[in-house]
Amino acid sequence: MSDNHAPALISLGEFGERAHPLRGDLREAALIIGLGQVGLQAVARVHEMLGAALTRREIQTNVRLLAIARRRSIREEATLPREEKLMLTYDPVSWGDVPGRYAYLGVAQWWPHSPRAREVLDDPWQVRATSRLMLYDNAALLSEALYKLANWLHEVGTGRDLKLTRRIYVLASLAEAEGSGMIFDIVTRLRALCRQEPTSMFGVFAMRAMPNPADPENVGAMANAYATLREIDAFTLRPDLYPSTLPVIGYALPKTEPRRALDMIFLADDAAQSSPELPESALAELVTTWIAASLLPVEKAPSLPEPIPTEKDRDRFSGYTTFGVAKLALPTRTAMELAAVGVAQAALNTLKSAYATTPTSVWAAQTANALRGILFSSDVQRIPNVSNRLREWAYDLSAAGLIRKLETRATKGEMARMVDLVGTELRRLERETASMTSDPGTTSAIPDTLRARIDAALKAEMDEAHGGLAAAPVDMAYAKGLGLVWTLSALDDLDALIRSGMGEFQHNLTEAQAAHQVNRQTLLDTSAQYDLKTGTRRKQIAAELDLRAQATLTAMAEVILAQARLDAWRTLRELVDLLRDQVRETLPQIEQSIAALRDFEITYRRAMEAMVNQPPRFPAGVLLSDTWYQAGTRELANLTQVHPRDLLCQIYRAWAPPPDLPAERRLSRFLTDIRDSTRRALVS
């Protein structure tokens, strides 16, 4: 149990742990468009934050994200799914050649004169017009992507009794040449595509850009912000005078009266000042908070501002609002950790007690009877691999098989006595008792014997029981909340039953061996009589030879099966011994875990006391007191008041062990992870 450090505050643009997840239905269909590099990073932040706030189904049904930006390098691209980003490419041409090259697109109407600054000619991406030209160069891609998103926004929720609010959020930095140069054409196109449906479009813009070493005083950033705001004022107040000429490819826009593109504009930051937060963080925070507000019940939803109605004869658009985002950093993680410590300590004490109403002897008897039943009820002789081998031996020991071998010997001039042949075959049959376990230290292959085949058949029958028995300590101690003491007692009882049952298996083997010896001698006597008889009497002896051979083979199969069952029972005893040792080794770890939790609690309480004395800092404030902690943990009383056995079960269900963790390590690993498991149980 590590992590013994002071709790850290969560920055903008990400979530920390929450005491209560929002569980309402999302009443909004949201299309989030990010423009430029800041927009790209903002959409990536929104993607992560919505993944923590909404269910996967809600995101797939009610949310679409698209970042439109210049492709720079794979390393610089945000980690977004492919369908959530549209990375554009454009190779700039000579400044003076642009109007002629793109004359068919009407670029000459807005392309600026050659700039006086040489550095702009060397790097045309410093100018907003270059970013806009990139849109024209990729008009087909843009037309298709925006058309599909607009269609989705129109159709989502239709056919169902849903009253979804439809909103478009456009995220960009006004101070960044790339993102700000795209705003006019993108928002104008989106508004044209959404004229048929009541859709609100919000511009969520940062007034800062990424730090630019070539512009330490942010002169270019302030110029971009000023120019973009003038543009927004113009095309928002008079959309009829400023139509977008971005080519429409693949469809025709509906012919309706021009309407302002942006219903409301949110501005964050100050282009002339620096901030420890990245510009995209505030944008992601506002959009995610706005969308999450739709999860609250209508009567509890916050009062969000409505779009400002259009006012004629105004020379400035009045739909701007500035916003600042600050997080009130309630140390939820700290509170949950401290609450988890107390609950985990109670759970660990449960492991040392026994809360079961069923005696351990009952479980042991049921388990032993079930294991014995599997060994005795398995008809392994009917398994094809075993029955085929028995069939081969049945022919080899039959009168027909033996007589044929005698005749073969006689043709070779060898001694041809039936008693000798039967003795040889019996010795060969007795070699079939070799098991599938090779001698230690040897590399010889496992012999293909009747015993090996029966061992394999029994192992297959017992595999599931072995797996269940190996998992029994964890299942009983943790999953069923019976505790380690009860579990060890149950395994001790099972071990005693298995040891006492060993005599039955040994007795069965002894009886089978005695029966085999009787049948073996009878078969040898019958074969000797066969050698002494001739004619009709020999034929009668041959029929009796068949019966005696089959009885001998059956007796040998019973011997081999009894040996295999005895060894399987011994294997079970070894497994139970191993499990008892595991539980014994785990018991002392309980006190070690309790001590580690105590040390952790002391460390975290000291961290809380230190945080109380810290002054607030932007963008996060600190609010922490014992009163707040007590009030916040009061709702956890229901979990701490449940029966200790049920409490342990809930904590174990919240445990998330590594998928490849072996069964023998789960006993001790759970004790190591119990604080995290308890915290998950509290959160859920």
SS3 readout for 108-156: HHCCCCCCCCHHHHHCHHHCHHHHHHHHHHCHHHHHHHHHHHHHHHHHC
Reading the block at residue 486, the tokens are 């009860």
- Which pLDDT does position 41 carry in this prediction? 92
- Which pLDDT does position 84 carry in this prediction? 92
Lowest mean pLDDT among 153-157, 220-224, 587-591, 632-636: 632-636
> How many Cβ atoms from other residues are within 10 Å of residue 250's Cβ?
9
Binning pLDDT at 50, 70 and 90, where does residue 567 land?
very high
Closest CA to 267 of 191, 203, 188, 186: 203
Binning pLDDT at 50, 70 and 90, where does residue 114 land?
confident
Where would I find the H helices in 9-122? 36-53, 56-62, 98-101, 118-122
Distance CA 220, CA 214 (A): 10
- Which pLDDT does position 497 carry in this prediction? 94
Query: In the 8-state DSSP scheme, what is residue 295?
Result: G
Q: What is the pTM of this model?
A: 0.53
**Cβ contact 154:254 at 8 Å:** no
In DSSP terms, 28 is beta-bridged to 165
Query: In the 8-state DSSP scheme, what is residue 282?
Result: H
Phi/psi at 545 (nearest 5 deg)? -60, -40
- Which pLDDT does position 16 carry in this prediction? 52
Does residue 52 have a pLDDT over 70? yes
509-530 pLDDT tens trace: 999 999 999 999 998 998 888 8
- Average pLDDT of span 266-273: 70
Distance CA 626, CA 365 (A): 53
**Cβ contact 81:48 at 8 Å:** no
User: Given CA atoms 261, 267, 273, 279 in this order, what sign does their dihedral have?
Assistant: negative
Share above pLDDT 70 across residues of the chain, in percent, rounded to a whole number? 78
Distance CA 450, CA 455 (A): 9
**Cβ contact 639:300 at 8 Å:** no
Closest CA to 261 of 178, 186, 182: 186
- Which pLDDT does position 683 carry in this prediction? 66
Does residue 566 have a pLDDT over 90? yes
Distance CA 571, CA 351 (A): 28
Task: Tell me the one-letter amino acid at 249.
Answer: I
- Which pLDDT does position 491 carry in this prediction? 94
388-410 pLDDT tens trace: 888 888 888 888 888 888 888 87
Reading the block at residue 424, the tokens are 């040889």
- Which pLDDT does position 624 carry in this prediction? 45
Binning pLDDT at 50, 70 and 90, where does residue 321 land?
low
Distance CA 272, CA 45 (A): 24
Closest CA to 381 of 647, 632, 524, 559: 559
Lowest mean pLDDT among 172-176, 599-603, 634-638: 634-638
Burial classification of residue 516, based on how many CB atoms lie within 10 Å of its CB (0-12 exposed, 13-18 middle, 19 or more buried): buried
- What element of type H or E holds 361? helix 360-377
- Average pLDDT of span 196-220: 79
Task: Identify the CATH class of 32-89+138-325.
Answer: alpha beta
Distance CA 544, CA 532 (A): 14
Query: In the 8-state DSSP scheme, what is residue 475?
Result: I
Which residues touch 318 (CB under 8 Å, ≥6 apart)?
308, 311
Binning pLDDT at 50, 70 and 90, where does residue 318 land?
low
136-188 pLDDT tens trace: 999 999 999 999 999 999 888 665 656 788 999 999 999 999 999 999 999 99
- Higher-confidence position of 297 and 430: 430
**Cβ contact 168:65 at 8 Å:** no
Which residues touch 187 (CB under 8 Å, ≥6 apart)?
170, 201, 203, 261, 262
Reading the block at residue 107, the tokens are 């670029």
Rg (CA), the chain: 41
| CA dihedral of 632, 635, 637, 643, whole degrees rounded to 10 | -140
- What element of type H or E holds 265? strand 264-268
- Average pLDDT of span 596-613: 75
Does residue 474 have a pLDDT over 80? yes
β strands within 269-349, DSSP E? 320-322, 327-329
Phi/psi at 632 (nearest 5 deg)? -70, -30
Burial classification of residue 16, based on how many CB atoms lie within 10 Å of its CB (0-12 exposed, 13-18 middle, 19 or more buried): middle
Report the residue count for the chain.
684
